[in-house]
Amino acid sequence: MIEITELSKRFGANEVLRGVDLTVRDGEIFAVIGPSGSGKSTLLRIVNLLETPSSGCVRIDGTDIHAADRQISIRRGMGMVFQKPVVFSTTVFENVAAGLRIRGMSEAAIRSRVKEALELIGLADRAEQNARTLSGGEMQRVAVARALVTDPVLLLMDEPTANLDPIATENIEDLIRRINRDYGTTLILTTHDLLQGQRLAHRMGVMIEGGFAQVGTPREIFSEPNTRSVARFVGMEN
Ligand code: ADP
Ligand code: MG
């Protein structure tokens, strides 16, 4: 379980996160939605240990991740997928195997894990193709497979479909649902696309200017926005 308490982050004079409180439950898909510049990516980067908080903390199963001396092992329990797919100029197979190689896993174990992941993303027949020659949507699926193959307990996705066309978006959304359902992986994703939040998330949080204005099920947020700023964001008021 992820527990975020009084989390603040400033860059110089710019207070980007202002006392964020949030609990994400094991096994849920949680969407952070909100306008551009509201602090969504910064929040995800702090959870992924890519940034340090100015104050407050993030606990995973009770451990303050930024205070912990085993940050590497905590980081290994997480996978992250970025808006722009990150792929290396090597085969699809090697792109997915990358996270396993550094763990000293046997070649046979790597083969079987990567094969399973490639089947999951529907690219098993493309294992030997150079990943840089894939379409944007396929590259993003490779990035998802690379994050997933290490068995993360938590998968973080920052606007995973922002650069994709509708069909590729649907593909990734379907993949997200299957990962959550079949592996029980907890997922936190950010999106500026409200409807994507509604399609995917068990719960979502509306981030406005560095804090959650409302956290609830998509139904609650759409039907009972608790403030004018949330209502405005979900389009119920001009
Ligand atoms: P979102 O993902 O919701 O669009 P971000 O978290 O990317 O928002 O950014 C929130 C604010 O923090 C923006 O004003 C952005 O310019 C600022 N910001 C993000 N990262 C940095 C950084 N490394 N240095 C300075 N400012 C940053
Ligand atoms: Mg962002």
Ligand nearest to the CA of 52: 1
Tokens read off for 141 = 């699926």
Tell how far the Cα of 82 is from the centroid of ligand 1, in angstroms. 15
Atom in ligand 1 nearest the alpha carbon of residue 44: 6
Tokens 């939040």 sit on residue: 197
In this prediction, residue 236 carries a pLDDT of 64
Ligand 1 centre and the CA of 37: distance in Å?
6
| Distance (Å) from CA 213 to ligand 1 centroid | 18
Check residue 162 and give its pLDDT: 94
Ligand 1 centroid distance, CA of 14 (Å): 9
pLDDT of residue 237: 61
For residue 82, the ligand closest to its alpha carbon is: 2
Residues at Cβ < 5 Å from ligand 2 ion: 40-41
The yes/no answer to whether this complex scores an ipTM above 0.90 is yes
In tens digits, the chain (238 residues) has pLDDT values of 899 999 999 999 999 999 999 999 999 999 999 999 999 999 999 999 999 999 999 999 999 999 878 787 888 889 999 999 999 999 999 999 998 988 888 999 999 999 999 999 999 999 999 999 999 999 999 999 999 999 999 999 999 999 999 999 999 999 999 999 999 999 999 998 899 999 999 999 999 999 999 999 999 999 999 999 999 988 866 4
Q: Residue 39 CA: which ligand 1 atom is closest?
A: 6
Residue minimizing CA distance to atom 26 of ligand 1? 11
